[in-house]
Structure 1
């Protein structure tokens, strides 16, 4: 299944975006995991520390109540009055029960935390804390037993018993605080173990996120390289193909067959080359025909020029002969027969010149028709170059759209930041390739412009040649009429010379008429010679132009 370039780029961007979103979600989950773990550890440690402080406060209240009761006993034993207050023994027993409950609740809480712990360090820490609180419970019972003994001694006024029990209370209390301090130390060790657990979880999350980013970067690079390869490889083939076309090679076609924009560009380039090939073939055929026609025109004009030169020489000879007749009027009678013979020869020459002029007129008509055909073919070539210019405009429009697409892609890549750097490189490559395609179309357009200017010049020269051929035809018609007139007059001269034999009075008149006719013939011959020389020059220019066109079309290989 073929995917267009725009959809291909959009799909790659969507995949990269999906990977970024996935990495972001994973990173947030890891952050939440670290935060939850740290918060849970801190909450449990703080709860245990608060319970230790509550147990410490309960023991302090028990101590204050016990000391108040002993002080009251000592005052009574000394006979001093005491204030009536609450039952201190009952109050102390309530405080002792609260302390026992706090210790038991702490032990249960610690055992629960130990069962929920996941790391060996925290499990061991909670086990040590549980043992210390169990020891604290034993110390609390010992402290309570000694205090009860002291209370019993005060009830029976046993002063030595009160003193002995007080020593036991102090020892039990010291043992209790020693175990409480050790419990606090164990809690601190548990806090350190929890901190280590949090740091391990943080390190694990940190490196897992880094690995995820690296994997996403690798996949993004693979996707970018795949998109780049799918675009740059066909463009490189197109550039090589356009360079061959620019050097005149019209024999090949692009080999990229796809259903995307590049495939349509290849089809357009193939159609352009087919059109150029047909145009070059037709141009070559037309220029070859034009060259052959120009050669025929030049040969015909050269033959006509030679005929006119011969005619002019004959006229000059006739004029010289008539001049001699004028100066030798005394010998007219004797040489009348020679003059008649000369006049008859002149009539034959005029008849031959008339036939030559008729052939020249026919050749002029053929030259005019061929020139018009050449002009029509050149105009057709000009129309086809215009069609090619439209194709080049289409190719140029494709390159400009590719340039705009590359610019939009570069803007999106810049908006994407660091993650869009590879995509920016692809956009830059697309922009460079679009600029190269535009430069190639400019070169092809320049070549077509040169061909168009050459064709326009050919049209102008062909039209000028046709005009000159028409002018030559008109002059040839004039020459034909003049020669016909000369022929008639020469025949009249023959009759006149025949009459001269009988009548010398009309001799001078006939000679003057012959001289006038010869002057007209000379002028017509000179004009005809000048026209044929101009026609020969035009035919030479047309032949040179046709050679240039052949040279221009030969640079294309069909």
Structure 2
């Protein structure tokens, strides 16, 4: 059965406390025994002593009463007057009291002998009882002789009184001597009682000291047991925890019981096992994190280079669109000039052949400008297609950036608290990718509109060139018909007005393309900044992975 440490300690203290309480109760009992023994000895010895003193006094009173009766008889015999009193009655009453006192002393000495505290005390009571009995025999003889003598006094038998006086006096002295011997025997009993009290005291002191020694021994045993069951295992657990604190995860603590320390050892072993698994997992995860950080950094560097190239392409596209804008402005200006010239030609067509020739020349110029406009529009269409390819590239980059931010967010989530800043950077990268993708969709829509406008402009320009050629042919054929030429010039004016309108629409589309390119450039700049942040975050992630590797190397598995 396994006992908990707290119960062991409580049990040990309970045992020590019980021993101390038992020792106190035993010591109190022994002190009470000594006190009762002393009280019994003192009370009995004092009582017997008082009774012996009383017995001696009564024996002496008997002797005095007897002598007084004898003296009164002798004085009467010699003719002296003596008061008449009943000496025999007084003596008989005193003798009866003395008999009772002797009987009490003999009985008490026999009783006290039965429950004596020691052999010496028992022997002393035996001697006292024997002495009392011997003295009682002498006293009985003395009492009988005195009774006979007092009866002779009452009978006034002087001779008998005088004849028995010597024997009665001897018996009296023997009785007093016997009482004195009894007193001496009582003194021996008192000495034996003192020795008995001393023996009881020594026995009590020895037993108390022995019990105290047993209590101290038991306390030492309990302390040793607590030290062996509590202190030593606690020291072993502390040493084991200290080794674990230095990074040694190879050892395990020996579990020998089911108490608190045993459960603590089991828990520590499980904890160290978990730490070992965690260290192994941490090493593997840190290595993977380091490799992933290196890959992310390389990918970020590649992306940064790609973004730089994209930014350069956007700059070039913006310059090309700017040139197209200037070209469109020139086309519009030239178309305006053509309209003015056509109007002037219509007004001066009736002026003659010279004006028709000028018209033919103007028609040639219009044809050439129309061909130039067609060439510029074709070039603009090619640039628009290039912008479409750039937008496709930007869209691809935004998708790759979105995928990279998703992978970075996954890695940041796996890194836990340490990857929180990296998660923020990944979120910013995803936001930039979404913005770039939205911008590419917008630019693609705008480019579609521009392409449709360009196609319409190409058709109109081709038609204008054809019409200019037809007008030139008719002008050469119908130089003489100025009015018809004027009509055709008016028709050409209307056509060029349409061309100007289309050119203005194209100019608006190009301005929208410029705005979209500005947005693309800003998005590219933001993407470049985000890529640099990603590169910095990946560098920090690499340093963090190296720190984690260094920390993981502390643990010995």
Q: Please tell me the TM-score bracket, short chain as reference.
A: 0.5 to 0.7
Deviations 1:233-280 (A, max 9, x none): 555555566666667777776654643445555555566667777777
Aligned partners of 2:244 and 2:461: how far apart in 1?
78
Deviations 1:278-329 (A, max 9, x none): 7773774885586367436513431331321330453366468769979999
Question: Cα–Cα, structure 1 residues 552 and 15, in superposed 2: closer, same or farther, change >3 Å?
Answer: farther
Question: Cα–Cα, structure 1 residues 544 and 270, in superposed 2: closer, same or farther, change >3 Å?
Answer: farther
Deviations 1:7-46 (A, max 9, x none): 4344334434443454345335433432443343234323
Aligned partners of 1:458 and 1:275: how far apart in 2?
28
Give TM-score, length-normalised by structure 2: 0.65
Deviations 1:496-515 (A, max 9, x none): 99999998998996997897
Stretch moving more, 305-314 or 316-325: 316-325
Question: Cα–Cα, structure 1 residues 94 and 322, in superposed 2: closer, same or farther, change >3 Å?
Answer: closer
Question: Cα–Cα, structure 1 residues 94 and 316, in superposed 2: closer, same or farther, change >3 Å?
Answer: closer
Q: What is aligned with 2:11?
A: 11
Contact 1:482 1:524 in 2 (8 A): no
Aligned partners of 1:491 and 1:217: how far apart in 2?
116
Contact 2:398 2:433 in 1 (8 A): no
Deviations 1:324-368 (A, max 9, x none): 979999999999999899879857754653442232133023124
Question: Cα–Cα, structure 1 residues 46 and 319, in superposed 2: closer, same or farther, change >3 Å?
Answer: same
Question: Cα–Cα, structure 1 residues 336 and 153, in superposed 2: closer, same or farther, change >3 Å?
Answer: closer
Contact 1:486 1:521 in 2 (8 A): no
Q: What is aligned with 2:346?
A: none
Shift, 1:226, TM fit = 2.9
Shift, 1:6, TM fit = 4.4
Question: Cα–Cα, structure 1 residues 62 and 473, in superposed 2: closer, same or farther, change >3 Å?
Answer: same
Q: What is aligned with 1:211?
A: 210
Aligned partners of 2:234 and 2:463: how far apart in 1?
96
Q: CA RMSD in A?
A: 5.2
Aligned partners of 2:247 and 2:435: how far apart in 1?
40
Aligned partners of 2:213 and 2:128: how far apart in 1?
43
Contact 2:395 2:436 in 1 (8 A): no
Aligned partners of 1:513 and 1:86: how far apart in 2?
177
Question: Cα–Cα, structure 1 residues 370 and 269, in superposed 2: closer, same or farther, change >3 Å?
Answer: same
1:310 pairs with 2:274:
no
Question: Cα–Cα, structure 1 residues 254 and 346, in superposed 2: closer, same or farther, change >3 Å?
Answer: farther
Shift, 1:198, TM fit = 1.0
Q: What is aligned with 1:466?
A: 430
Q: What is aligned with 1:413?
A: none
Contact 2:394 2:437 in 1 (8 A): no
Deviations 1:60-98 (A, max 9, x none): 34224313422442353245666665471x764675576
Aligned partners of 1:482 and 1:537: how far apart in 2?
30
Q: What is aligned with 1:529?
A: 524
Q: What is aligned with 2:189?
A: 190
1:361 pairs with 2:386:
no
Contact 1:304 1:532 in 2 (8 A): no
- List alignment gaps of at least 5 residues for structure 2: 335-364, 470-495
* Aligned counterparts, 1:331-342, within 5 A: none
Task: Give 1:540's match in structure 2, choosing from 526, 535, 545.
Answer: 535
Stretch moving more, 325-334 or 520-529: 325-334
Q: Rg larger in 1 or in 2?
A: 2
Q: What is aligned with 2:70?
A: 70
Aligned partners of 1:481 and 1:254: how far apart in 2?
73
Question: Cα–Cα, structure 1 residues 485 and 271, in superposed 2: closer, same or farther, change >3 Å?
Answer: farther
Contact 1:315 1:518 in 2 (8 A): no
Contact 2:442 2:516 in 1 (8 A): no
SS at match of 1:3: coil
Contact 2:131 2:182 in 1 (8 A): yes
Aligned partners of 2:235 and 2:540: how far apart in 1?
38
Contact 2:301 2:535 in 1 (8 A): no
Stretch moving more, 300-309 or 106-115: 106-115
Aligned partners of 2:94 and 2:512: how far apart in 1?
167
Q: What is aligned with 1:27?
A: 27
- List alignment gaps of at least 5 residues for structure 1: 382-450
Stretch moving more, 365-374 or 319-328: 319-328
Stretch moving more, 240-249 or 488-497: 488-497
SS at match of 2:258: coil
Aligned partners of 2:542 and 2:301: how far apart in 1?
16
Contact 2:149 2:164 in 1 (8 A): yes
* Aligned counterparts, 1:56-455, within 5 A: 56-79=56-79, 86=86, 88=88, 92=91, 96=95, 99=98, 102-103=101-102, 106-107=105-106, 109-110=108-109, 113=112, 117=116, 119=118, 121-123=120-122, 125-126=124-125, 128-130=127-129, 132-133=131-132, 136-137=135-136, 140=139, 143-144=142-143, 147=146, 158=158, 166=165, 169-170=168-169, 172-227=171-226, 229-236=228-235, 255-256=254-255, 258-265=257-264, 281=281, 284=286, 287=289, 291=293, 294-295=296-297, 297-315=299-317, 318=320, 346=383, 349-350=386-387, 352-374=389-411, 377=414, 451=417, 454=418
Aligned partners of 1:73 and 1:98: how far apart in 2?
25
Contact 1:475 1:531 in 2 (8 A): no
Question: Cα–Cα, structure 1 residues 241 and 315, in superposed 2: closer, same or farther, change >3 Å?
Answer: farther
